[in-house]
Amino acid sequence: MFLTDDELTELTGYKSAAGFARWLDARGWRYERNRAGRVIVLRSYAARMMGDGEPRQMEPRFGAIGG
């Protein structure tokens, strides 16, 4: 259901919750922290973020057109 600390280490290259959070924040990933401060990432979310599953829909940025 959730990535393990070993999986988060493999993903991020960090071994601490602070490192996990820094890497995830820099890439815009969503996560939670439990009461003990552990970083919680859903396994299914990680799979989607890594390109496994349905392609993400891109929303048009009409403001970039100008005007």
Q: What is the pLDDT of residues 10-49, one digit of tens each?
A: 999 999 999 999 999 999 999 999 999 999 999 999 999 9
| Whole-structure pTM value | 0.75
The rounded distance, in Å, linking the Cα atoms of 2 and 38 is 11
pLDDT higher at 54 or 23: 23
pLDDT tops 90 at residue 2 = yes
For the chain, the C-alpha Rg in angstroms (whole number) is 15
Task: Tell me what pLDDT residue 62 has.
Answer: 78
pLDDT tops 70 at residue 57 = no
The rounded distance, in Å, linking the Cα atoms of 23 and 10 is 12
Where in the chain does DSSP place strands (E)? 32-33, 39-40
Tell me the two tokens of residue 31: 């996560």
Tell me the two tokens of residue 20: 């996990």
